[in-house]
Every structure is written in structure tokens, then in C-alpha cells.
Amino acid sequence: MNGKTLPSEYSRTRPLASGLFWLVNAKRLKRGLCCLGALLALSLAVFIELKTSALQSWIFTSTNQRLSFSLGLGPSRQIAYPRSAPYDDRRGYSKLPAFQRRLESLGYKVTHQARQSETLLTLLRHGVSPPYPERPDTGLSIRGTGDDFLYHYAQSEFLFAKIEDIPPLLVKTLLFLENRDLDRPATRWQNPVIEWDRTAKAALMYLGAKLHLSVPVQGGSTLAVQLEKFRHSPNGRTESPLEKLRQIVGASLKAYRTGANTRAWRERIIVDYFNSVPLAAAPGYGEIHGLGEGLHAWFGLSLPEVVKALNAPAPVPEKIRVFKHALALLISVRAPSVFLIEERDSLEQKVNGFTRLLARAGVISWEMAAQLQETPIQFAPSAPLPPQPSSNKNKAANAVRTNMMDALAVHNLYDLNRLHLQVSSTFDVALQRNVTEFLHRLADPRAVSAYGLNGERLLENADPSKVVYSVLLVEAAPQGNLVRVQADNFPAPFDFNRSVKLELGSTAKLRTLTHYLEVMAEIHAELSRLTEKELAAKADRARDPLTRWGIETLRREKALALELFLDRAMERRYLASPHEEFFTGGGLHRFENFSSEDDDRIPELREAFRNSTNLVFIRLMRDLVSYHRARLPYDAHAVLENPANPTRQKMLQEIADEEARAALRRAHQVYAQQSPDEIVRRLVGTKGNTERRLAILFYAWRIGSGEAALASWLRANQASPETDVTRLVRAYENPRLTLADYAYLLGIHPLDLWCAGQFRKDPGLSWDRLYRTSAEARRTSSAWLLNGRNRRAQDLRLRIRIERDAFGRMAPYWQRLGFPFKSMVPTYATAIGSSSDRPVALAELVGILINDGVRRPVASLTKVHFAAGTPYETIFERLQKDGERVLAPEVARAARKAMADVVEQGTARRLNGVFKLSDGKVVPVGGKTGSGDNRFETFNRAGGVVSSRATNRTATFVFYIGERYFGVITAYVQGREADNYRFTSALPVSLLKLLAPAILARLDHNFK
């Protein structure tokens, strides 16, 4: 044998190695088989899961059981809100933290708020929208007392309530375009959110695009995911794979919210998609959501008409037309702004292409497809106005909406209407409706005649449609003054009660009388503590008639209580004669009484208020001004009598500065818009002797010197070549002539001349630079006033200034009682309405009187309820605030007594006994009437009226009814048409009498 013999040891180990090798391979094979089996089992499980969603249904159903929320008392310790996203922004959910801060700063508190489970909190913090019923018809609703609707924004006319309401053709078309397997689930628990084949294809294309391969990116979103995207993703977009995951999780949780069976949810997805798909924003309309609103806004089609046409069995022309437009909207979803605004022609092509696909798939017939291609898309010429209740007849709702808009810092009513918000208001909806309809009926002459409003001092034969009426009724309650009615017939969304500034005539006498009584209470408090000796000393120093009267009364009737003291004050008599000139408001004025029968009388103040005697209140205001003048921080008497008084000098300097600044401001407004040549032409004028005026300007502005320079200036400004230049030089080239002298020669204000010169040199001069450089010019122009030789001019200005300061001291008193403006017009005529007022502010004064001198906040809102039925639900209620005492109770009662006298036997006596309850009890009523015939008049030098034209006419009645109700009624005519009307306060008094039955119904209910 040629081969080598193996060692015996090797021969013995070979069978052992072979056995070991076999053993190892067997184990490996077994492991492999196990892995293969597991892989097959996993693949089978995945296959089953992909087909049935059994595991998903269990996971999401189990998770939903831990996603809970409930409404609890007070603010929640832990609450999360959604991210900024279209739906959550529109409904206000994402803005709730900011809304809460705003409302709490305005005196509201959280009384109830949602409690969220830990799982729900975690979900929200990770940016996933939780499952809860997302109603498409949420919006602003306002309720009044008794839970009656005052306003409701829902747009239900654009919505489908259930799947059966949607024409089958629309459903089939939508599913073909967006989600073909949605209505064909393999099992009842299959997840409608994911179609795995579409998702895989979209993922591969997305990956290819990231690898820069030439593949188109295709969306794989089902209808459920699309809903989640344009509702709850930032900007309605998918910006990342993580955002897509959030959408899938959120949509899946919603699909299994009510259990594992998703069949009903699949139908809900279709309904929600049709109701809320975003369809861009139409100019003049706003954002559009849902097919119904899209058909209305873009094409002017009504959803009920579209549904009726699409349900027709045959493809009639109307069915073809509306389906073409509905299909256009469904296709434009992919890029709504592009297709519906920017590239409408491409939309037509796109729709025609899809009609062929729909026919090929059997959704529509080829005949219908051909008809669709022949039918053009017709956009409406302009978007219709957004549907909303008439603003003219919803003034109470407008007031609440405006208040809420300000409270929440929402930019406009459009955004406010779309908040998921319920507001509880104080309005009596039935009474509000009755009053509003009554006021609108007054535009009809037949209604005016039927109500007996065409008599003397009423509307007579004037056009009733031009009269604006407003009514405000408020109830005094522990939580504040609650507005029950706020109505007017003004034909625009304008709050006539709160926003208008009017001269309301003699209603100002109520403010004047109340202030008088308040001053008398001050005098009583100051003097009642003094001894007889101290009162005598005080009498010698008293500088105003009211204080002197108070001293005399308390010396005569010692220890007189405030109530009796005020009663004596109402007995004071004033001359009613109009035959006196009053220096007030910067000049001499005469006043007249409404009735000449009062001219020779000297009535008590109580009687003068009852009969609204003007001259009594002019003289009363004079006394009130004297009271405040005597308490100014300087001695007004010394200022006027002593030329060397330091305060006088200081005040004159201030007056001079004020006048100079005002004159400079006027000149700036005139010359800032003019060229240098226009400035010269304006000052030279066209009345002749232009050479003289040009020469004055030449030297006043220091343009040059000498005959040659003046001659050049005259030629440049087209003066006559025959001008005697030498004479002009001798006349006006005088170094002693000042700016004031040259201005005098021209007949203009010195600062007018100086300002014109500055703008001639620098046409772009700003006000600030002009003022900074004007110190010397202002000093020169004012020097005459500071000269002691001009004592009369000084005293005139000082008297005006002292009166203004006295009214400035009076103003805070009036403002504490609701006067709505920063300052009063400094004239005695303020007592008869010259300082103007607002109806709501006048009513607030009566509210203070009703509440015995306590000023309570006026409220029209009681509760603000956000996001009802959602995980973000929050309820705010207004904190009850204590009122502020602004008048002594005795003062308020004295004023109310005077108002009652007006109704019992004064200018409002036609209301006496009108308010009777069903049991026959008469409800006490008080008020104050006021009329304003406001005119623009021009006078001659003798004071005679040269011309007079009406600017407006007002008639007002401010009132209280019983112990709880108060308000104001106003009638108003604007412009020159007011000349055609002669109505007085008898008109609003008559209106309240006509409204009495409706108001009594509420009073009867209160008493029961």
C-alpha cells in the first residue's frame, strides 16, 4: 500500500466528531425551524392585523378608557390645551389660557373647569388631539334671562346632520377621489384611518424623493387623517413624519372612541369631511369651511337646492350644473387658494379630467360625463354677505358681542362668532324684542297715528321715519345694575345709547340739582360741627352765596339734620327773569325760559326743577361756580383786584403761552401745505396796494436792505414797475419796528407772520422744530398782554381762566356720578345741557339715586362658558363687586323726591298713575325731561341773529320705576331736517306710557 496509515487515536475520535457535528446541526436546524415558525406566525399575525385591525382596536379602545375628562368646581390644577391649529384656533380652544387671563383681569373668576385624566394630559402635551365629539355647528350663542336665545351663530343651513342627508352621488364621488375602501371594511373593527397599501406606496415615494430620485410625492392620507390634519395640525399642514404620526394616532383614537366597532364612525368621517373641509377664503366673506358654505360663497348655490337636484333620478340640466360645482369644490381641496382664486381656468380642466375617471369607474354615466364637460363652472360675481341676523334689530346682541370682543381682545366679530362660546346675559329677551319691534313700527305714519303720537309737541305732520329712538331699561340688583333692554331703531350696527354724544337739554338740570344737593351736604358737614362763634367768624370770611346761606340757616335752626337741611335748600328761591346778561363761556350771554309765563316769577328750586325753568338753573350754576371758585388753590378775588398779585402774573404768563401756542398751531396748519410763492400770495392778497404789503413782508422777514434789494423783491413778485420804492423804504425800513408792528400793519397775528416766514425759508419744517425755534416770536407776540396798560384785556382773560378752573374743580364731582367726558364746557349753560351727555351715562346717574347714593357697576353679562362638552370646558362668572358710595343717602333721596314731583305735577305728569300692577297697586315713578333744539347761529355786531340752521333735535326722558328699575328714552333727528320737527320731551314721555304694559308684565312677575 502506498498511503500512510492513520494513527489509531485518530481512528477512534472520528465517530465521536461526527456525532458531535450531527448534534450541533440538529440544534441549529431546530432553532431555525423555530425562528421560521415564529416568523410565519408573526407574518400571519401582521397579515391578519392588516386585514382586521384586531390589535389596533384593542389598543386604541383600551387607551380611550383612560382618556377621560369631567367638569369640576373651580379652576383645574392641571389642564392642557391644544396647539395652535386651524380648528382649535377658530373655536378658541388654543387661546383659552389668554382668554382666562383677560377675563380674570376684568373681574371674572373660574367657577368650573374640566379635569383631565393623566393619560389625556400626556396626549395633549405630545401634541395629539384627544377624542371628543367635535360638533361642526358650534359658535357664539348668547342667552338672556330665562335661558332664551338672544343670538345664535351656528350656520346649520350649510351642514349635513347625518349620512342619509347627503346625496349618494356625492358620497360615491368623494370616496372615489379620496378614500375608496372607506365603505368596504373587511371587519367591523377595522381601523378606517390607515389603508396600508396607500400608506406603503406614499412612504416609498417620500423616501425616494428624499434620496433625490425622480419620483412624484403622493399623499397617503385617508379622509380621517385629512380631517385630523386640517383641523389639528399647525397651519393645517403635515410638516414632518412625526406630525403624520400624531395625525394617525389622533384619528385612530377618535375612530375607537365609542368602542371597537368603527362602522358608525366611518359614516361620521364622511359627514364631518363634507361639513368642515377648508375651501380657502372669499374676499369680503372670510374663511369657508364645508361643502355647503363653499357652494354658497363661491357659486351662490343653496345647499338644500343642491341636495334636491342631486337626488333627482335622471341627469337633468340642474343636476348636471350643481354636481359640476360640487365636484369642482371636492377637487379644489388639494389646493383651494390656487383653484378657487388664482387659477380658475385650470380648475375647469381638472374637473373635466376627473369626470372621465368617474365615468370609467362607473360612478357616473358617460352621458353624464359628456354633459358635465359641456357645463362651465360659474363663480358668483362677488361673495354674498356672511349670514347673520339683522344688526338693526339686534342691538342688545351687538352690545354683548362688542363687550365680549373687547374683553377677549378678539379683533373682529367674524372671529368672535366662530368661538365655541356660550354667554349668559342680563337681557329680558321677550321685552327686548317687544321694545325693538315697537320702535321700528314708529317709522310708519299709520302706526304713529294709531298710537296718538302726531299731536302738538309730538311728531305732528313731520316724517316719522327720520326719527331715531333709543330705549335703555336697567334693573338695580345686588350683583349690580343689570341691563334688561337696550334697543334703538338706528339703521346701522351702532350703539346709540353708549356711543353718541348729544346735548340732552334740561336733563342736565338733574345733574346740576344733584351736584347742588351734594355741595349742600358738604357745606352741612363742614358747618354743623361749628359753634355759634365759629359760624359767625366763618360768615365774615365766606366768599360764595351757598356757604353764606348755609351759615345763616344753621345759625337760625341749630342742629338741623342733613335731611331737613336739604329740604330747606330745595326751598331756596331764584329769579326766573331772562332780562340779565351773564358773563360766562368767554362772553356775555342771554338765556330764555321755555315758557314765558315763568319770566316774572321767583320760584322755589323744587318748583323750578318740576317745571324745568331755565333761568333758575342758570343762576344756580352761577352759585355753584362761585362755590368752587372760592375753593380754588388761589384767591380769585385778589387775582382780579391786585395788579401786582404774583399769582396774577403767573396766570397771565400761562394764558399768554396758551394763546401763542394756539395761534402758532393754527398758522402751522395753514402754511405747512403751501409753497413759498403761495405763502406770499396769501399774505399779499388781491385787494390792491400789494406793493405796500410786499414791502412790509420784505422788512418783516429781513430779506435784505436798501432800495435795490427791495426793488428786486418787488419785481420778483410782479409788483407794478411804477412803484415808488424810495417812499416804501422810508416808510418801513425802520429798525425800531418789531414783528408785532409789522403784523399790525398787515392786519394779521404776529405769529401768523413769523410762521409764514419760516415756511417760506423751509417748506418741510416740522411742528416740533417750528415750536422749538419760536420762543422769541412767541414772547414778542405776547408782550402786549403782559403790559399793565392792558388791564381790561388781562381781566377778561383772567375771568375766563378762573371760570374754567372752577369748572375743572366741579368736573370730578360730575364724573363720580357718571358724567362721561373728561371735562365740562365752562359755561353756565352747562346747567341746561351745553356740556352734552350720553343716554347711558344719564341713566347711570339715576341708578346711583335709586341705590341710595351707591354707584354699582352696569352689567350686561353674567356668565361666560367656553368649550362645553370638550376637555377644555371652562365657565367664568362675574365677581360680585361692592358698590362705591358716591353720594350721601339723604342727597339721593332728595333728588328722587324731586324727580317724583316732575311726574306727579310737572313736565312728565302724563305718566302719573300709569304704572299699576295687576293688584291695583300704583308703582311710584320719577324722572326728568329734556329737549334740545341745537342750532348753528351767526350774529351781527349788535348781537342780533343773522342766520340760524338746525344741527339736530333731541328729546329725552330719564326715569325710575319703583325701587329697582330705571332708564332713559331718547328721540333724535340729525342734520338740517331737524328744522321740520317741533317735538319736545313730551314724545319720549309718551313712548314710555305706550311701553308701560310690556314693562308692567315684568314688574308683575318680580312682585309675584
Residue 946's pLDDT is 47
Q: What is the pLDDT of residues 98-129, one digit of tens each?
A: 999 999 999 999 999 999 999 999 999 999 99
- The domains found in the chain, sorted by start residue, are 35-65+156-276 (1.10.3810), 283-392 (no CATH), 428-504+836-853+888-1008 (3.40.710)
Interatomic CA distance for residues 489 and 650, integer angstroms: 52
Query: At 391, is the pLDDT very low, low, confident or very high (cuts 50, 70, 90)?
Result: low
pLDDT at 1 over 50: no
Interatomic CA distance for residues 818 and 838, integer angstroms: 10
Contacts of 959 (CB under 8 A, 6+ apart): 846, 899, 903, 908, 911, 925, 926, 927, 928, 966, 967, 968, 969, 992
Interatomic CA distance for residues 759 and 579, integer angstroms: 50
3-state secondary structure 907-971: CCHHHCCCCECCCCCECCEEEEEEEEEEEEEEECCCCCEEEEEEEEEEEEEEEEECCCEEEEEEE
> Up-side HSE of residue 486: CA atoms within 13 Å toward CB?
29
- Helix axis angle, 545-556 to 614-629, nearest 10°: 90
Query: At 494, is the pLDDT very low, low, confident or very high (cuts 50, 70, 90)?
Result: confident
pLDDT at 486 over 70: yes
Q: What is the mean pLDDT of residues 666-695?
A: 86
Per-residue CA distances from 887 to 584, 697, 848, 894 (Å): 28, 61, 8, 11
pLDDT at 943 over 70: no
Provide the mean pLDDT of the chain: 90
Interatomic CA distance for residues 307 and 274, integer angstroms: 13
Q: Are the C-beta atoms of 746 and 689 separated by less than 8 Å? A: no
pTM over 0.75: yes
Contacts of 738 (CB under 8 A, 6+ apart): 780
pLDDT at 295 over 90: yes
Q: What is the pLDDT of residues 847-863, one digit of tens each?
A: 999 999 999 999 999 99
C-alpha cell at 146: 330665562
Residue 15's pLDDT is 61
Interatomic CA distance for residues 795 and 808, integer angstroms: 19
Query: At 49, is the pLDDT very low, low, confident or very high (cuts 50, 70, 90)?
Result: low
Written as one letter, the residue type at 258 is T
pLDDT at 511 over 50: yes
Query: At 22, is the pLDDT very low, low, confident or very high (cuts 50, 70, 90)?
Result: low
Look at strands 858-859 and 480-488 and give their pairing.
parallel
- Helix axis angle, 263-276 to 168-178, nearest 10°: 90
Q: What is the pLDDT of residues 398-423, one digit of tens each?
A: 999 999 999 999 999 999 999 999 99
3-state secondary structure of 1004: helix
Residue 111's pLDDT is 97
Q: What is the mean pLDDT of residues 837-845?
A: 95
Q: What is the pLDDT of residues 762-820, one digit of tens each?
A: 988 999 999 999 999 999 999 999 998 999 999 999 999 999 999 999 999 999 999 99
Interatomic CA distance for residues 956 and 987, integer angstroms: 8
Per-residue CA distances from 599 to 505, 579, 595, 596, 722 (Å): 19, 9, 8, 5, 66
